Every structure is written in C-alpha cells, then in structure tokens.
Amino acid sequence: MSRRFIAALGAAVAVLGLVALPASASRAAEPPPVTAAAAAQTLTWTADENQNAYTSAPTTAVAGETTIIFENSEATGNEVGMSHTLTFDTSTPGYNHDVSLNITANPFDANNGRHEATVTLAPGKYRYFCTVPGHSTMAGEFTVEGGGGDTTAPTVTATITGTQDTNGNYVDQATINLAATDNTGGSGVASTEYKLDSGAWTPYTAPVAVSAVGAHTVAYRATDVAGNVSTEGSKTFTVVEGGGGEDTTPPTVDATVTGNQDGDGNFVESATVTVTATDNEGGSGVATTEYKLDDAAWAPYTQPVLVSVLGAHTVAYRATDEAGNASTEGSKQFTVVADSSDTTAPTVDAEVSGTQDDEGNYVDVATVTVSAQDAESGVASVEYKVDDGAWTAYSTPVAVNTPGMHMVGYRATDVAGNVSEEGMAHFTVVTQDTTAPEVTGQVVGQQDENGAYIGSAMVTVSATDNEGGSGVASVEYKLDDAEWAPYTEAVQVSAAGEHTVLFRATDGAGNVSTEGSETFTVVAGEVDETPPSVSAVVSGTQNSSWQFLDAANIGISALDTGSGVGSVEYKLDGGAWTEYSEPVVVNTAGTHNFAYRATDLAGNTSAELTGSFTIVESGPAPGPDVCPDSDVRDTVIIGDIDSQVANIDTGNGCTINDVIDEDGQWNTHNQFVRHVKAVTRELVQNGVITGALRDRIVTAAVNSTVGTPTSRV
C-alpha cells in the first residue's frame, strides 16, 4: 500500500474525527475566472497535508491588479488528497471587504490542485482563512500598501472625560474620545477603531459613553489609506455609582439548564447550561464568572456550555465582583439520555471517480467519495474499509492506487446509535504502462578457434517487462533480409556465411523495445549431432511405502562431451517447460509427475524422460470425508457465473464449491462476497489454489446475484 494512501487514512482521523466533510470541500471547485492580461504582481499561497496552517503565504502587497495563485498539490507536499480553501474574509471588522475570493484546491482535481484568479487589491488589510471543517487555524492576514509610497502609520490618541471622584474613578459615566492624524505619510486616515474590554473591534465615529459600573480597558488604533496601521494604544478607567463608596456586597449568580426534555425531565441528546451574574447592589461590577462540570476543574464562563455526554451531571457556578467579593456557590443537577425515538438507520452511498480505460478499469488511482444522510437524529459517524482492512473514520475522499481488484465497504451511524446496512463499491485499478520492455539475444553453438559456429548456430531471444507492469505481449526477430517474424522458440541457422539477427519486444500497453542485434558466422565442418545425456534423482524423507514425507527435491544433471550442455529443462504435473538451475522443491501432498530434457550448444535435444513420486503429510492420518454429498461439478460455478477454475478437493473431502456454499442463508450479497474472500484466502494459504485462481473465484462471486433479494425469492 502506498505512502499516500496510508497518510490519507491517518490525516482523515486526526483532522475531522466523526464529522462528514461537506460536499464543497470534497471536490475541486470551479476556479475563479482569469483575466487575459497579466497582473502587475503575483501573490502565492501553498498548502500540504497540514490542516493547521498554510505552507506559505504573503504578508505584504501593493495596491492594484494582482494574480492570486493557490496551490495544494503533490508538488507542495500533499499526497493524501486533503482539500483546502483560500477564502478572503468579507465580514470581520477592521479588514478590507472589497475582494470576494473562495478557491477550493485538491491534488486530484482537474487542475491538479493549482488554481489562479485575478483581483484588484485596495490599500489596507485583508484576512484569509480555510473553510474546511477542522482547518479553522489555517488563517492569516496581509497588508496592502498604496501606490503613493506612504509607509508611515497614522497616530491616534485617546482621552477619557467625565466627573471623577477623589480616587480618580468616573462617577456614573465616562466618555471615550479618539483622535487620529496622518500628517507624515500623506495618504490620510482611512479608519479609526476601538475595542472596549473583551468586545470586538468597532469603527469609531463619535465619542463613546460607558456607564457600566466597574473597571474598563479601551484599546484603539487607526489605519491610513495606504494600509499602514498604527501601534495599538490602550487606557484603563473605572466607573462607579454616584457618591462612590466601598463595595462589600457580593454579586448574585444563577444558572439555567435548557434543551429538549422527555416525560421524566431528562434532556434528550444534550443540555445547554447558561450562567448569569449581576452586581447591582455593590456597584463595582462583575469581574469573573466561573463554572465546574462534574469532577472537572473550575473554568471561566464565557458562553453557554453544551453537555452531550449521556448520564447524570452536576454543574456548579460562582461569580466575583471588581471589589473582590465572591458569591455563594450554586449548583444544579440534570441528566442527559439518548434519543429513543429514532429507530431509522441513516442512508449511505459511495461514488467512485477517476480516469477509466475501455474496460472500465481505473487508471493509476480510483477515488471513493462517501456521503450519508439522516433526517431524524443526524449522522454521527461515517466509516469505510478497503478490502480486508479495518474500519476507519471517513472524512475526505479515499484514494486507492494499488493495482488490482478492490472492494470498499462503507457504513454510517446516527446520533441515536442506528447503524446503516454496509454498502460496498467494487472496482479495479490498473497501472498506466509507459515503459517499453527489455529484450536480449544470444547465439550459441559449437565454435571453431575463430569463433565461427560449426555447422549451425542457435539464436535465443528473451524479453522482460518489469517496470511497466503490463507484461510482454510479443517478441519478434528478423534474420538477414527476411521479414519480421514472431519468435516462439530458439532459431537454428545452418546456412554458411555471415548473418545478422534483429530482435524486438512489445508489451501489453503497446510499448516497443529498442531493437537489438547479434552478428555471427556459420562455417561448414564436422557437426556435433549427439544429444546430451540427462538424469534425475528425487530425494527426501520416505516412509516404508517409499512415499516422501511433506516434501521432495528433484535434482537433474546433464553431460555432453561434444559441443557442451546448453540448457536443462523440466516440467511438473503437466506445466510448462521451465529452465532448471537448482533442485526443485515440491511440498504439495499427492502424486506428482515430472519430465526433463537437455539441449547441447549444437542444438541437439535429448529424449524427454519422465518420473513420478508421491508426497504425504507426516502429521496425523486424514479424518473422515467432511462432505460426503460433495458438489462435483468440473469447475467452480457461483450462481450462473463460471469462474473456469477447477473444482478440486480441498483436502478433507470437500470441493471448492462445497466451501463456497452458494446455497447458504446469506442475508446480503456483501455478506456472501466477504465469506468467499475469507475461504479462498485460506485455500491459498493451504496451497490448494494460487492467488490468481482466487481472484477469478472472487470476481465470479462479486458478479453473481447470490445474497441479493432477487436470489432469495
């Protein structure tokens, strides 16, 4: 499995947990329109597999037409298919809102994750961020300077006015006055802002009256037309009730618990705790409000607290005023229970996308996008698994790039705990082969002292296609002035004289190798016409019946006193002829037949010799026939699909059709397919069938209707 797919799975869990990714973030958005003329400047943002920050981003710019480039691609370090957006903020006070930009980029979108847009920037500050859930810390700002060369920030001052007591406190009310100038830079003041206590930045247009009793801090700043921002200033002051006086009365504090309740008063799925505190009598004002949920530590209360953990809870609360008086601690008890009214599982679906070949296979990569809906309690989690892998939380589209047939299962769970029926997507990934095969040639035979071949020469050609992966489709050769001809076996050349043989190979994807050549000379003379002698010995541990226990080794030797041994070959149990280089180990129980032969350098081949032997297991004797009424059809047939795989005995009296059990009680088609995958995997592990035969059986199971509602009628 590739690094990209593994990392995709890890990033999906870490970033979004159980939250399904919105459709807008799961596929590439159409890129914003691009103007024909080149912009005066280019600003570039990049992103990778990190959901906490952009990889790179500008901090300054100049006003005017600008090309925006946003790249989130494999080239910038994103190999897991994670989506990001580059979005300009058009609502937060204190920033320019004149540019609407929202680019979604994904390494596997139509632009390979690189998008451009042309905008016009005005002097000031712009804020940008990523809208994908879980990526909220991906944000920043940059400053745009005017074209006039103003680089000096304005100055801003504040004065607090009002009636003060002997301690300097403002009685009943204080008024904030701000003044800003931009004499040095010359572009002029564009805006003045203030922030009172923990409030938001607010445009300053007129003096601000503050009558809330207590200590206050006002912050202020100004921005000129060129976008230069002043250093932030601040002032602190205190407002007291008329007449002043020491505050010795603690504030009052209370809490309310709200939410959807059942007949027993329990809160269904969640409860919201709201704490309120006032300090009317003392006059110094509330300084802090705190709460504590169950056994947790005290925490500052800033907004209503949502409690969704099922069970009984106790919330405690308290407040302290500016004079240091602490309220009596209050508490409330409540219980959160699950929603028992929702008994309907969510619906879940998946879509497979990618480039397909003429046979419907996905070239290089297939992307699986899962979506789920639940109209009642809502979707709590979506999960997927690839082939025999573990269930994994789904958050972003899953890229599968391992060549071969794949099955991606998917399911969803709602807030009430209802789990959908497992769905499954079937597809095959193939590799786009662009690498030509490699081909080599060799000339062998009996040679004289000048290197000429006596009587005849034997030309052999071999080809491999390891890098491309599509396999060698054909090998050709051309002797002297003859036409190209298919190469199927060694070519014997006996005509006297100089010869040149050309050879080439083509793979399954149509890639043709570089043409190779060999030049040689054949002369008349006494020719070796005697084939070599060849013998074979089977060795191993045998029982009293001369059967080999667990395994046997086939050793072959050949001798040629003329031109010398050129090659030794063998074939086992009716298989293809294979070049012999070392003893052949056979460890499959049963009777085996083998043949062997040798060819000398003059091209003489010995007579084909044969042998046979039997291997038995050294463990306990086999048990009784487990399947006395076996399905003995010649091939493995599932429904009406013939896999063309021989329906052999699996070793205990049961055939492959028996263990597949297509007539069993299968609730769903997916359940049957999983069963077939499991039993055929065991057959491969036990040496009953090969991995290639297993793939054919699983494909037949996938294409069958076993387990579908139609098959159960």
Average pLDDT by stretches of 10, the chain with 713 residues? 40 33 36 47 94 94 91 92 93 88 93 94 90 90 76 89 84 91 74 93 93 93 84 92 69 93 87 91 79 94 92 94 86 87 89 89 92 87 94 95 91 88 91 86 89 90 78 92 94 92 89 94 84 87 82 89 86 94 92 93 89 85 71 90 88 86 89 90 83 87 86 57
Identify the DSSP state of 388. T
Distance from the first to the final alpha carbon of the chain: 40
From the list 703, 682, 628, the residue with the least C-alpha distance to 658 is 628
- Reduced to 3 states (helix: H, G, I; strand: E, B; else coil), residue 362 is strand
The domains of the chain, with CATH numbers, are: 3-145 (2.60.40.420), 155-240 (2.60.40.10), 252-337 (2.60.40.10), 347-430 (2.60.40.10), 438-523 (2.60.40.10), 533-616 (2.60.40.10), 635-703 (no CATH)
How far is Cα 330 from Cα 349, in angstroms, rounded to an integer? 49
Task: Please state whether the predicted TM-score (pTM) of the whole model is above 0.85.
Answer: no
Strands 423-430 and 362-363, bridge-based pairing: parallel
Q: Which residues share a beta bridge with 637?
A: 642
What pLDDT was estimated at residue 17?
32
* CA–CA separation, 603 and 444 (whole Å): 8
- Measure Cα distances from 447 to 235, 454, 495, 522 in Å: 105, 6, 15, 9
- Give the DSSP letter string of 408-456: EEEEEEETT--BPPPEEEEEEEE----PPPEEEEEEES-B-TTSPEES-
d(CA 279, CA 270): 31
Identify the sign of the CA torsion 651, 652, 658, 660.
negative
387-411: b (≥16 Cβ within 10 Å) or e: eeeeebbbbbbbbbbeeeebbbbbb
Q: Which amino acid is at 602?
A: A
| Residue 291 burial class via C-beta count within 10 angstroms: exposed 0-12, middle 13-18, buried 19 and up | buried
Q: Which pLDDT score is estimated for 184?
A: 65
Q: Which residues pair with 516 in a beta bridge?
A: 503
The answer to whether residues 300 and 267 touch, using CB atoms and an 8 Å cutoff, is no
Place of tokens 């028992």: 340
**Angular region, 531: left φ>0, alpha ψ -120 to 50, beta rest:** beta
User: Residue 9, Cβ neighbours under 10 Å: how many?
Assistant: 21
Do the Cβ atoms of 320 and 334 come closer than 8 Å? no
- Taken in order 466, 470, 474, 478, the sign of the CA dihedral is negative
Tell me, what's the pLDDT at 129?
95
Side by side, the strands of the sheet bearing 170-171 are: 170-171, 233-240, 214-224, 189-196, 202-203
Under 8 Å between Cβ of 61 and 69: no
